[in-house]
Structure 1
Amino acid sequence: MTGAALLAAFTAAAPAQATESGREVLNALARARLAEEAGDPRAALTALTDVASRAPGLPGLRGRMLEQAMQGGDLAAARSAAMQLWTGGERRFDARLVLTVDAVRRSDWRAARTFAGVDGDKTGGDPMTRLLLPVIGAWIEVGARGKLPERPLLAAGARGRPEPAFILEAALVQLAAKRPADAVALADATMLTDRTSQLVALRLAATLDAAGEGEAAKRLRGRIALATGGREDPLLLLSDRPVSTPRGGIAHWLALLADGFARAPVGNSRLPLMIARSAWWLDDSDPTVRSALVEALDRDGQRQAALALLADDRGAPALAMRKAELLADAGDLGAATTLAEAAAAQAPASRSLLVRFADIARRSDDGTAAERAYARLEADLGDSEEDRALHATILIARADLLLQKGEWDEAQPMLDRAVALRPGDPTILNFAGYSALERRRNIDASLAQIEAAWKAEPQNPSITDSLGWAYVLTGRIAEAVPLLEAAQRGEPENPVIVEHLGDAYWQAGQRFSARYVWRAAALIADADMATRLEAKLRDGLTPATMAP
């Protein structure tokens, strides 16, 4: 039940004018709703606690208290609300998760089994239960010293398509149960097919090392490197730590799930935060858990709380870099650049951290710092296909820095080298062609590059815009208009594309449409574009006010 629904429920049950107590409850409910809307779960929980003291039987109240307690990180309040829901017969997922976590923290394995539902039907349930129950059940059995505690994981992996992450988690459970030979056999036999299996494998490799199984760990790390293809996943920079206890085992699995949900482009922000909070309550010393909670808090709009978790980021360059990015998002660009460069220096072999440092430096308009990052990246490049692609991208980025300063003659050789390295890359062809085109350089050659890029990616709005604008500049207005219309449909809030379309309409004689589109562009334009659009709306299109 939402805060608005809770307020409406009480209003229907007890009108505000009925009693003084009723008015106080309504006021507290209103405060809770305002706090929720402002993203302040602690204040919301305080207000809801006030409501509970005056109207404890209000429908939906305990559920809202549980949700706000989990968002704000108050385990005691979450446990209290969850227990009241449980005793009232409500078997909500979040309540079960909190009560299970609390039982595991207390090593009360009987209660943990009950709250998790591991003795119930293990074949059905909702998708979240199917993701969590086998892992939680297996680690509970480790704590309870059960026989073959890995059985829930192996059974889950055997149904339908085997899940390699479950099988590798089973190997972790076997190591915790002091059966290294069985764990090695599982590790050697399991393919790494997805991100989760790679991340679990990294934990397994560290745990094999700790158990004296160094050769098995080495073999597994080799397969991790092969599966990742050299990509540097943020969590792969954090996760090399043994897992040997039920609290650590459940926490690391919850963190992996929370991180994946938090990074997904769509979805509810409360789900990853609920899972990450549970992981934190189990093991707040685990860097992966910390990282997952940071991502979940940021996704939920609690940036300051995320930054507070990163106050002590020593020894973890990836966490320091994440802190730098959050500082940049908060507008502290100078501090962000300084911290990002220091984080990249702590892990000199990490290309991804250097790229992230360069991005922060560019956001800070610190071209010198960005150049330092690019120089370090280029010094480490070889001639593999992946390195050639990265080299071309770096050259484009360096050329863009020069172009922003108006240094075309210095930038052009870099653009040419980038195209030579990646002659079929549509993004690079488009950038090189458009950069020359907007400066009215090498029109025919630039047009050919943009046409090649568009043929490779005709659905890309940016490339479609480039081609349409190239046709405008070369006088092919009839061909330009449909392309620019398609680009505008693909990115209706891109002011550059919208302005281009307006200019094309004017030159095509569609003056009413041109003015209509220019007005739309003015709503989303920066200062320079807004001035240019104002002149166009007043005087029409002139050579001086044509888009660059």
Structure 2
Amino acid sequence: MPARAADDVEAALDAFVRARLAEEAGEPAAALSALTAVSSHAPGLPGLHGRMLEQAIEAGDFAAARSAAATLWDDGNRRFDAQLVLIVDALRRSDWKAVRSYLAARQDKAGVDVISKLIDPAIAAWIDVGSREKRPERWLLAAFPAARPQPALQLEAVLVELAARRTDEAVRHLDTIGLTDRSSQLVALRVAASLDKIGEGEAARRLRARIALAAGEREDPLLLLPDQPVSTPRAGVAHWLGLLADGIARTPNGSPSVPLLFARAAWWLNDSDWQVRATLVEALERNEQPGDALALLPGDASLPPALLMRRAELLLDAGDEAEALRLAESAVADADAPRSLLIRFADLARQSDDRVAAARAYARLEAALGDDDRDRDLRATVLIAEADLALQADDWDKAEPLIEKAVALRPNDPAILNFAGYSALERRRNVDASLARIEAAWKQAPQNPSITDSLGWAYFLTGRVDEAVPLLERAQRGDPENAVIVEHLGDAYWKSGRKFSARYVWRAAALIADADMATRIETKLRDGLSPATIAP
């Protein structure tokens, strides 16, 4: 082998190893840089440009994504991510002919490509808006049979009509569309903002009233973002792709790469869209890129409260509790702060172990509650949270009346009954009444590992060890990484005479225990179970 060729092979291998290490470490920018080095030494390596495209999408490098997509496309590889990146590039240049060409290259002739059904009609309609074709909404209206109308597509057609300056037709169609799902409500918000922008305030007001009625008491984070009109092809396609990214991300057990692709494409088209930004933040966090997600949320007054709260939550996950609390409190500074943000503030304060801030958050939340059924249920949850704070401070006298109020509000709620019974039982108070509450909770939720553990532990504490062991085994199978449940099972094994099993289970518990529990388990492993080392 000539010396130059040997050098290229060695350099390519070195860069390839660096790329793999960066990929495994979740560093897409570093992986892309290394893969670019590989391509300079071995441009024909099979699969190389596909991996470069994937890493460019993760890293948010549009220029690199466009280059890799173009190479794949020119080589005859019509993969969907390459197609979407090239469509985005053409839209950014307002090259409607090129967009149509890329769409046509992967047409779903068999009618089975779900992704094409989701994106092609919207993109085709917005292209026609840009090129001033007649009736651009026809692509959306024809996407599904009349017998199965899709409200989100119908509302997108209204947006297209408004952008095409056919306001009367748009308003007339709008009144016939039901807001039957979350996606339709999100598109309807864009329609309302677009109506406001063109002076159709009355139509916008009627639509917002319908959105509020359809959403009910749900305070969806995306519904809390500022209204933004959609009137250009780039903005229209961006908003639609962002909506799809959000919906796909909610599919159970789905891959994070697809919603990230859609969210990136939307961002590259319109980075001033709040819903697109929020969707990309969630896609990045789901793809284990929390640093990149945080970078999209600057910690200043420019962020809407819902996104400021999201930044606070990401900061808490990163370990910056003080700044997280400061931002969270800023997000709910308004006296009319949405209740969902108050709940998130309370949860964040609780997770940060700041009892003073948590108490302040729960007091603020409780003050915002009314007297309807939903508010009474939420008030019971708040009371339990406040009681838990008191118990963390070892103040049973303060916690007990809060617990009893919660039980009175929701006497048949298994989670509340279990909390009430277990909290008293672990302090050896009102043992018979506490056991009865836990048994009532378990009858309603026998598949819940925490409640099953509570009942098993209650039986253990009241001397019914033979009944306790199978329940605790069942709880451990349901939640094998819960250190409290595992320790309880070890204690029950020891008490029942199964000392080898007890030591085995305690060792497992020690691997996932906090410091206090680990010390207690270490003593049990050395000396066996004693009244002083029984789990609390």
Is 1:91 the counterpart of 2:100 in the alignment? no
Instruction: Name the Cα RMSD after superposition.
Output: 2.0
CA contact (8 A) 1:462 1:487 kept: yes
Matched with 2:486 is: 498
Q: Distance in 2 between matches of 1:247 and 1:163?
A: 23
Matched with 2:222 is: 235
Q: Which runs of 5+ in 1 are unaligned?
A: 1-13
In structure 1, the residue corresponding to 2:122 is in which secondary structure? Answer: helix
Q: Distance in 2 between matches of 1:453 and 1:251?
A: 48
Is 1:467 the counterpart of 2:455 in the alignment? yes
Amino acid at match of 2:31: A
Matched with 1:324 is: 312
Alignment deviations for residues 174-225 of structure 1 (CA, whole Å, 9 cap, x no partner): 1111122222233222222222122112212222222333333223222222
- Structure 1's 502 and 368: CA in aligned 2 closer, same or farther, altered over 3 A? same
Is 1:22 the counterpart of 2:14 in the alignment? no
In structure 1, the residue corresponding to 2:162 is in which secondary structure? Answer: helix
* TM-score for both structures, normalised by structure 1: 0.94
Matched with 2:157 is: 170
Shift in Å at residue 347 of structure 1? Answer: 6.8
- Structure 1's 161 and 16: CA in aligned 2 closer, same or farther, altered over 3 A? farther
- Structure 1's 160 and 536: CA in aligned 2 closer, same or farther, altered over 3 A? farther
Q: Distance in 1 between matches of 2:334 and 2:281?
A: 21
Amino acid at match of 1:532: R
Alignment of 1:111-150 (within 5 A): 111-117=98-104, 120-121=107-108, 124-150=111-137
Is 1:345 the counterpart of 2:333 in the alignment? yes
Q: Distance in 1 between matches of 2:3 and 2:360?
A: 64
Matched with 1:6 is: none
Q: Distance in 2 between matches of 1:229 and 1:146?
A: 38
Is 1:35 the counterpart of 2:19 in the alignment? no
Amino acid at match of 1:115: Y
Is 1:214 the counterpart of 2:214 in the alignment? no
Q: Distance in 2 between matches of 1:315 and 1:75?
A: 24
Q: Distance in 2 between matches of 1:220 and 1:526?
A: 53
* TM-score for both structures, normalised by structure 2: 0.96
Q: Distance in 1 between matches of 2:415 and 2:508?
A: 27
Amino acid at match of 1:321: M
Mean alpha-carbon deviation: is it higher for 97-106 or for 504-513? 504-513
CA contact (8 A) 1:154 1:167 kept: yes
Q: State how many pairs are aligned.
A: 535
CA contact (8 A) 1:188 1:216 kept: no
Amino acid at match of 1:49: T
Matched with 1:486 is: 474
Is 1:103 the counterpart of 2:90 in the alignment? yes
Shift in Å at residue 301 of structure 1? Answer: 2.0
Matched with 1:256 is: 243
- Structure 1's 278 and 119: CA in aligned 2 closer, same or farther, altered over 3 A? closer
CA contact (8 A) 1:202 1:239 kept: no
Alignment deviations for residues 41-96 of structure 1 (CA, whole Å, 9 cap, x no partner): 11211221122222211111111111111111111111111111111111110010
Which of 216, 234, 239 lines up with 1:247 in the alignment? 234
Q: Percent identity?
A: 68
- Structure 1's 538 and 506: CA in aligned 2 closer, same or farther, altered over 3 A? same
Matched with 1:519 is: 507
Q: Distance in 2 between matches of 1:540 and 1:503?
A: 9
Which of 263, 288, 291 lines up with 2:278 in the alignment? 291
CA contact (8 A) 2:226 2:304 kept: no
Q: Distance in 2 between matches of 1:219 and 1:446?
A: 52
Is 1:197 the counterpart of 2:184 in the alignment? yes
In structure 1, the residue corresponding to 2:222 is in which secondary structure? Answer: helix
Alignment deviations for residues 449-507 of structure 1 (CA, whole Å, 9 cap, x no partner): 11111111111111111111111111222221111111111101111111111111222
Matched with 2:379 is: 391
CA contact (8 A) 1:62 1:85 kept: yes
Q: Distance in 1 between matches of 2:4 and 2:253?
A: 42
- Structure 1's 118 and 84: CA in aligned 2 closer, same or farther, altered over 3 A? closer
Alignment of 1:56-71 (within 5 A): 56-71=43-58
CA contact (8 A) 2:438 2:454 kept: yes
Amino acid at match of 1:453: A
Matched with 1:10 is: none
- Structure 1's 103 and 465: CA in aligned 2 closer, same or farther, altered over 3 A? same
- Structure 1's 24 and 300: CA in aligned 2 closer, same or farther, altered over 3 A? same
Q: Which runs of 5+ in 2 are unaligned?
A: none
Q: Distance in 2 between matches of 1:264 and 1:47?
A: 33
